[in-house]
Amino acid sequence: MLARQRQDLILEQVRSRGSVRVSELVDRLGVSDMTVRRDIAQLSRRGLVDRVHGGAASTDARSSDEPGFAAKSALQQAEKRAIGALAAGLVEPGASVALSAGTTTVEVALALRDVLDLTVVTNSPPVAEALHEPSRRDRTVILCGGIRTPSDALVGPVAVRSLASLHVDWLFLGVHGIAPGAGLTTPNIVEGETDRALMAAASSVVVVADSTKWGVVGLSSIADLDDVDVLVTDTGLPDDARAVVTERVGRLLLADTPEETAL
């Protein structure tokens, strides 16, 4: 493949997804790490992408940009399903569970359908809908109120007040980005406040995020990495990131995608 063809493919990935990691491009293009970095450098000099740690990002990406729920649902679908299934395996029958908004937490909710006798608290209408089964008398779903964001989260003072008096066994928290310095982040300041209220209500905090979220920094910090009990992500998480997480997070769980399991 010619350099121009590789660069066109890199640019297409960045424009469709917002960012792409060097490790992903190495696997997809079948070239060396150095070749990919050289291509990214050339695209950066032309002003077409921004060079970031471990990859490339859209020049239009801003820390306050908040992708819509539908757009995010189309990304990393296999990884999210695998993460959801692995995370749901932590929950035993009879537990109380909170789920934040997010496309990955919807996958957790779908995987929790098989767990008996659950009480579920969420600020996500899609999560509540995924678990809504009137015939299941062993399951209670509580949907918090609030102002609806582009990512389909209900946030703000109403949500925070309703969460303040609750105590749950598990929180499954979806995030916009994870980085060593910034920690867990979101582009929405008000959603960050609501996420912190969810964390305060939980005995154990489980962050569910695919590996492309590593290195992404949103406008508002939710919490430090040290506040996370379990991080559930996929095996695409780079080795340097695994080292950081292992040192600072209580437990790291890596989900295999169906494609990887078949190899």
Q: In 10 A of CB 34, how many CB atoms?
A: 10
CA distance linking residue 117 with residue 165, whole number of Å: 21
Percent of the chain beyond pLDDT 90? 62
Report pLDDT for 57.
77
Options 3.40.50.1360, 2.102.10.10, 3.10.580.10, 3.40.50.9100; which CATH number does 69-262 get? 3.40.50.1360
pLDDT tens-digit readout, 5-28: 899 899 888 876 777 888 889 999
Q: What is the mean pLDDT of residues 107-121?
A: 97
CATH class of the domain at 3-58? mainly alpha
| Residues sharing a CB contact under 8 Å with residue 117, sequence separation 6 or more, in sequence order | 93, 94, 138, 139
CA 136 to chain centre: 28
Q: How confident is the model at residue 73 (pLDDT cuts 50, 70, 90)?
A: low
Q: What distance in Å separates the CA atoms of residue 16 and residue 30, rounded to the nearest whole number? A: 21
CA proximity to 124, closest of 75, 181, 195: 195
Q: Quick: pLDDT tens for 217-229.
A: 888 899 999 999 9
pLDDT at residue 263 in the model: 38
pTM: 0.74
Whole-number Cα distances in Å, 227 to 78, 132, 170, 199 = 27, 30, 14, 9
Q: Crossing angle of helices 22-29/3-17, nearest 10°?
A: 130
Residue 154, token pair as written in the block: 């209900």
For the chain, the structural domain boundaries read: 3-58, 69-262
